[in-house]
Amino acid sequence: MAATLVPGAAPAPVAHLQNVHLRYGSAVALRDLSLDIPAGGMVGLIGPDGVGKSSLLSLLSGARQLQEGEVHVLGGDMRSKAHRDAVCPRIAYMPQGLGKNLYPTLSVEENLQFFARLFGHNQAERRARIDDLTQSTGLKKFLSRPAGKLSGGMKQKLGLCCALIHDPDLLILDEPTTGVDPLARAQFWDLINRIRTTRPHMSVLVATAYMDEAQRFDWLVAMDDGQILATGTPDELLQRTHTASLEAAFIALLPQAKKQGHTEVLIPPLQASDDDIAIEAQDLTMRFGDFVAVDHVNFRIRRGEIFGFLGSNGCGKSTTMKMLTGLMPASEGKAWLFGHEVDPHDIATRRRVGYMSQAFSLYGELTVLQNLVLHAQLFHVPPEQINARVEAMLQRFGLQQERHELPERLPLGLRQRLSLAVAMVHSPELLILDEPTSGVDPVARDQFWRLLVELSRRDKVTIFISTHFMNEAERCDRMSMMHAGKVLDSDVPAKLVEKRGAATLEEAFIGYLVEASGEPAPDLNTKKIAASAYKTSTSASKPSETEQSPAQGAMVSNCASSSPRFSLQRMWSYLWRESLELQRDPVRATLALAGSLVLMVVIGFGISFDVEDLTFAVLDRDQSTLSQSYTQSLSGSRYFVEQPPLTSYEDLDQRMRAGKIVVAIEIPPGFGRDILRGTPTAVGAWFDGAMPTRGETVKGYVQGIHQYWLAEQVRERTGQRLSSQVSMETRFRYNPDVKSLPAMVPAVIPLLLMMLPAMLTALAVVREKELGSIVNLYVTPVTRMEFLLGKQLPYVALAMLNYVLMCLMAVLVFDVPITGSVFTLTLAALIFSIITTGMGLLASAVTRSQIAAMFFAMLGTLIPATQFSGLTDPVSSLEGAGRIIGEYYPATHMFTISRGVFSKALDLHDLAASFWPLLVAIPVIMGIAVWALPKQDK
C-alpha cells in the first residue's frame, strides 16, 4: 500500500515490504504484511505492545533475519548480506528500552567514541561530531558521567547521539520515549525535529505507544496482531474514523471482536469526607548520604480517592511510595496510614496495602489460580476464606476462563488484570500502582480503569497511581507533580491546567518542570518544524519508483568500498571497550587475578599422590623380641607412623572404621620361635581399601619392608645375603624424590589457564545478549571476526598475566624451578590462552544466558582436561573414545609442554611436535565460534 504525504510529491519509498511473515516459535509476530514506507518524513508505527512494531523495525534495520516475504530498504533486498553490509552505515537503529544500545559502565564520552570508531571516523572527526551532538542535546557537561547513572531522558538522548554519529539516511527509533517523563519526551522530539531541519533528507521511522506523540508525525501505520489496520496522516485517520483523538481513532480501527462492549470510561464524583484521610505525609524526607532524594514532602489523600503521582525520572516518586508503605524508614518527617503512624516494623499495617509493579512480577511457572492462592497465603488470608476470595477475584476481574493458564500465555491486558487481582486478593484498603497500563492497548486500558473506578467508588479503596500517560492522569481525582524530590503542586488536574494557563495537562506539567529545573522550554509546536523538514525533503526528491536513484546507488557503492572486510579500528573499538568494562568490574577482575592463585594453592597442596605418614597399629600376639623387631621395621620407615597397639579384632575394626589407622598388622603367637626354627609362619596385614590406588601402594610398601626385614634376619643369623645373579638399581630422573608437587604444579598451570580464561570469556558475548547491546553487532559495520577478536584479546592479556603470576608462585611458593626454556613455555602459554579464550567465546556464542555459558565452558574445559588429557593418568593408558579425546584435546599437549619445560629442561626444538596441534586448534575453534555467532537475530 504505497502512500505519500503531499499530493504531487512521490519520493521513492525508503522501505518496501511484501507478504512478510515472522514467527517466534508458535507465536505469529507479523502476518502477511505488505507496506511501502515513504521517504523523507517522520513515519510512526502506533499500537500497544505485542502487535509487531518492534519485529517490523528489527527487520527493516537488518537486526533480525527475514523468514518469509520480501523486505527492501534503501533500494536493496535485506536478504542479501552484501546489501546489508553496504547500507549499514546509512541506517541508525535505536532499540526499545532505556539505553538498550548503551554500555552503562562507560561514560557519555566513551560511549560516543566507541560508536564513532565503529563507523570509521578518525580522531578529529570523532571530536567534532561528539562536540556537536552533545552541545545540541545538552549532554556536553555530562561527558564524564557513566551512562548507567544518567536519568531516563538523558539515556535516550545519549542513545540518539550514538545512533546519529554517522549521518544516517534512515533513523529507526523503537519506542524511544517509553518510561520517560513528559518534559524529557518533549525535549527528545524537539531535538529530533531540530536535527531534521539540518538533515532534511533523513527518513525517521518511529514506534510509539503514546498517541499524543503520534499526532506530530507525518504519516502513521496503525498495527494490531501483526497486521496493518490503516495508514495515512494523523488528520486522515481522524477523518476516516470520525473521531477527535488518535486513541479513539485507533479503537475505532480495531476489529469488532476486540472492541466489543467497549464504552468510554466515566468517573463519578468522589463522595468522601475531607476528614476521612487514608494517607498523610508531613515533611517526609529521605537522604542517601549527602543526596536528598525526597525533600520535605507534604500531602493528604482521602479514603477512596484516585490520586495521581507524576514526576520527572528519578524525582523520588518510588522512594516516597516506599516510605509511605513502611518499606523504607524516613530520614525525617512522618507519615500516617489510615490514622496509624507508619512503622517499618509493623507488618499489620503493610497488609492493608496492595502493590502492583510496572514490570510483570508474578510467577510464570504457576497458573493464574495458583498465583492467586499463593499470594492469598502469603498475606495470611484465613485458610477457610482463600477459596472464596480467589473465586471472587477470578469473577470480578474476568479471569474465570483463564484460571488454569500460565501467565506467559495471556495477552498483556489480561496479565495486567491478573496482577491487579493478585494485589487485591487480601482486600487491601490502599492500592499502589506503578505505571500499571504501560504497553497495554487502549481498549484493555479502559477496561482496567473501569475496574479501578469500581474499586474506588464502590469499595472505597484508595488508589495511588504513577503514570506517564496524560489522558490517565486527567482521570485522577487529584494529582501531585514532583521534581528533584519536591512536590511542585497538588490539585485537581483541570485546576493545574488553569493555573499554568496551558492548553493541555501535558503542557502544564512541562511548564512546572521547566520552571523547577531551569532547563530551556522545548518547542511544543513540533508539527510545524516537522512539516518544514518534510517539505524540504520531498521537494528535493526525484525518484518516483522503488528502484534506487543513481545518487543512492553511488552512496551505496561508496559505503561498500569504504568499509574494509576487516578493520583494525573496529576491532580496536571493541577491544578498548571490553578492556574498560573489565577494569571497572571488580568481581570479574578479582576472579581473574586472585582466583587462579587461590585455586593453584588449593590444587597444588590439596591434590597429592604422596603416600606418607600412614598410620598403622600392631596386634602382637607373640610379644617376642623378633615380633618387636618386625614392628620397628615398619615404624622406622618414613612412610609409616605407629599408633597404640591393638587389643582385639573389635578394636581393629573400630579404629579402621573411624579412619584412625590404614594398616593393621597381626603377628601370630609363636612368631619368634617359628622364625628361629625355620618353620613357615604367616603375618596378617589388613589394609583400608576405600581408596584402591592408595591401598595398592600401601600394600607394596608393606611387602617391601617385609622382604627387607627377612633379608636382614638371614644376614644376622647366617652372615649371608639373599641375592640373585641379576640385580636392579632404580634411579628416578626429573623428580628423584618422587614427590607430588613437582609433578602437579606444572600441570595445574595449564589446567587453570584452560578453565578460568574460558569461563571469563564465556561471559563476554552472552552478557551483551542479556543486556540487549548485542544489537550493536547486528546493525553496525563490525564483522563477527572483529567483534570476537575485540572481545577475546583483553582476556588473552589477562590470561598471560595470570600465567606470569602462577609461574612466580610455582618457583617462590612451591619451590618448583623452571629447568627448561622460559621462552618456550611462554609461547605455549600464549597460544594456549588464545585457544581457551576461543573456547569461551564459542560457549558464549551458542548460549543465551550467563549461567548456561558458564556451565558450557566448565563442562567443555574442566572435564576433558582432568579426565582425558593426562593430568593424572597417561593418555596412552586410555582406551576408546577417551583415548581419541585425549590425543586431540589441546590441554594434553599443553601438559606435555609444561611438564617438559619445568621438569625435563626441554626447549622449543624438543617440544615442536606438541606445538603443531595447538596451532591447528586456533583456526578450528575460532572458525566454529565465528560460524556459531549470527550477524542477525533469529
Cα→Cα distances 688→659, 665, 716, Å: 8, 12, 33
60, amino acid identity: L
Report the distance separating Cα 389 and Cα 376, nearest Å. Answer: 8
Q: Which cell numbers in the block locate residue 53?
A: 512494531
pLDDT average, residue stretch 258-272: 80
The mean-pLDDT minimum among 94-98, 439-443, 538-542, 741-745 falls in: 538-542
Query: E strands, 548-626, where?
Result: 614-620
Query: Highest mean pLDDT: which of 312-326, 425-439, 442-456, 766-780?
Result: 766-780
Q: What is the pLDDT of residue 564?
A: 60
897 pLDDT tier (thresholds 50, 70, 90): very high
Residue-level length of the chain:
938
Q: Which residues contact 33 (CB under 8 A, 6 or more apart)?
A: 17, 19, 20, 21, 52, 56, 69, 226, 227, 228
Beta bridge partners of 24: 27
What tens digit of pLDDT does each residue of 582-596 get?
Answer: 888 877 777 777 888
What tens digit of pLDDT does each residue of 594-638 get?
Answer: 888 888 888 777 666 666 778 899 998 888 888 888 888 888 887
Residue 804 has pLDDT above 90, yes or no: yes
Torsion 746-748-749-753 (CA) sign: positive
110 pLDDT tier (thresholds 50, 70, 90): very high
Q: Establish how many alpha carbons lie within 13 A of residue 362's alpha carbon, considering only the half-sphere containing its beta carbon.
A: 28
In whole angstroms, how large is the CA radius of gyration of the chain?
Answer: 38
8 A C-beta contact, residue 216 and residue 533: no
Q: Which residues contact 433 (CB under 8 A, 6 or more apart)?
A: 356, 420, 423, 452, 463, 464, 465, 466
Report the distance separating Cα 720 and Cα 713, nearest Å. Answer: 10
735 pLDDT tier (thresholds 50, 70, 90): low
| Distance from chain centroid for Cα 772 | 8
Residue 556 has pLDDT above 90, yes or no: no
* Residue (of 495, 489, 480) closest to 308 by Cα position: 480
Q: What is the pLDDT of residue 827?
A: 95
* Count of Cβ atoms closer than 10 Å to residue 374 Cβ: 15
The mean-pLDDT minimum among 651-660, 734-743, 855-864 falls in: 734-743
Q: What is the pLDDT of residue 542?
A: 40
pLDDT average, residue stretch 837-855: 90
> Any idea what the Cα angle at residue 40 is, between residues 38 and 46, rounded to 5°?
55
pLDDT average, residue stretch 442-468: 84
Residue 796 has pLDDT above 60, yes or no: yes
Report the distance separating Cα 315 and Cα 312, nearest Å. Answer: 5
Question: Burial level of 233, CB count in 10 A (0-12/13-18/19+)?
Answer: middle
The mean-pLDDT minimum among 29-38, 268-277, 451-460, 720-729 falls in: 720-729
Q: What is the pLDDT of residue 828?
A: 95
Q: Could you give phi then psi for residue 9, rounded to 5 degrees?
A: -100, 130
Query: Distance between the two ends of the chain, CA-based, in angstroms?
Result: 27
8 A C-beta contact, residue 744 and residue 86: no
Q: What is the pLDDT of residue 608?
A: 61
8 A C-beta contact, residue 157 and residue 139: yes
Q: What is the pLDDT of residue 736?
A: 59
* Residue (of 493, 527, 528) closest to 512 by Cα position: 493
More confident position, 355 or 574? 574
* Residue (of 120, 96, 116) closest to 108 by Cα position: 116
Sheet-wide strand order for 277-288: 291-302, 277-288, 332-337, 340-341
411: three-class secondary structure by DSSP:
coil
More confident position, 368 or 690? 368
Q: What is the pLDDT of residue 555?
A: 37
Query: Highest mean pLDDT: which of 242-256, 338-352, 779-793?
Result: 779-793
Report the distance separating Cα 72 and Cα 546, nearest Å. Answer: 9
Report the distance separating Cα 161 and Cα 111, nearest Å. Answer: 10
Q: Which cell numbers in the block locate residue 838?
A: 576461543
Report the distance separating Cα 868 and Cα 887, nearest Å. Answer: 8
Task: Report the relative pairing of strands 684-687 and 478-483 from DSSP bridges.
Answer: unpaired
Q: What is the pLDDT of residue 3?
A: 40
| Distance from chain centroid for Cα 111 | 19
Q: What is the pLDDT of residue 467?
A: 80
DSSP 709: H
* Count of Cβ atoms closer than 10 Å to residue 82 Cβ: 11
Residue 237 has pLDDT above 50, yes or no: yes
For 287-312, b/e burial (b = at least 16 CB within 10 A) is eeeeebbbbebebbbbbbbbbbbbbb
Residue 559 has pLDDT above 60, yes or no: no
pLDDT average, residue stretch 738-745: 73
Q: What is the pLDDT of residue 560?
A: 39
pLDDT average, residue stretch 165-182: 83
333: three-class secondary structure by DSSP:
strand
Torsion 606-608-613-618 (CA) sign: positive
Q: Which cell numbers in the block locate residue 868?
A: 582425558
For cell 597397639, name the residue: 645
pLDDT average, residue stretch 468-495: 86
pLDDT average, residue stretch 719-726: 58
Q: What is the pLDDT of residue 912?
A: 92
Query: Highest mean pLDDT: which of 236-240, 391-395, 423-427?
Result: 236-240
Residue 208 has pLDDT above 80, yes or no: yes
Cα→Cα distances 159→94, 100, 154, Å: 7, 8, 8
For 185-200, b/e burial (b = at least 16 CB within 10 A) is bbbbbbbbbbbbeebb
Question: What is the share, in percent, of the chain residues with pLDDT greater than 70?
Answer: 90
Q: What is the pLDDT of residue 922?
A: 94
pLDDT average, residue stretch 562-569: 73
Cα→Cα distances 692→666, 687, 688, 696, Å: 21, 10, 8, 6
Cα→Cα distances 837→793, 844, 899, Å: 8, 10, 22
pLDDT average, residue stretch 767-794: 90
* Residue (of 684, 679, 574, 570) closest to 620 by Cα position: 684
Q: Establish how many alpha carbons lie within 13 A of residue 94's alpha carbon, considering only the half-sphere containing its beta carbon.
A: 29
Q: What share of the chain is helix, strand, coil (3-state, %, to 5)?
A: 50, 15, 35
Q: Could you give phi then psi for residue 648, rounded to 5 degrees?
A: -165, 175
220 pLDDT tier (thresholds 50, 70, 90): very high
For 478-511, b/e burial (b = at least 16 CB within 10 A) is bbbbbbbbbbbbbeebeebbeebebebbbbbbbb
pLDDT average, residue stretch 293-315: 84
pLDDT average, residue stretch 167-196: 82
Q: What is the pLDDT of residue 557?
A: 36
8 A C-beta contact, residue 865 and residue 751: yes
Report the distance separating Cα 603 and Cα 583, nearest Å. Answer: 27
Secondary structure (DSSP) of 156-225 = HHHHHHHHTTT--SEEEEESTTTT--HHHHHHHHHHHHHHHHH-TT-EEEEEES-HHHHTTSSEEEEEET
Residue 88 has pLDDT above 50, yes or no: yes
Cα-based torsion angle of the residue sequence 550, 555, 557, 561 in order, rounded to the nearest 10 degrees: 160
What tens digit of pLDDT does each residue of 848-896 get?
Answer: 888 888 888 888 888 888 888 887 778 888 888 888 888 899 999 999 9
pLDDT average, residue stretch 115-125: 89
536 pLDDT tier (thresholds 50, 70, 90): very low
8 A C-beta contact, residue 216 and residue 527: yes
Q: Which cell numbers in the block locate residue 47?
A: 499500537
524 pLDDT tier (thresholds 50, 70, 90): low
Residue 738 has pLDDT above 80, yes or no: no
* Count of Cβ atoms closer than 10 Å to residue 637 Cβ: 17
814: three-class secondary structure by DSSP:
coil
Averaged pLDDT score across all residues of the chain: 83
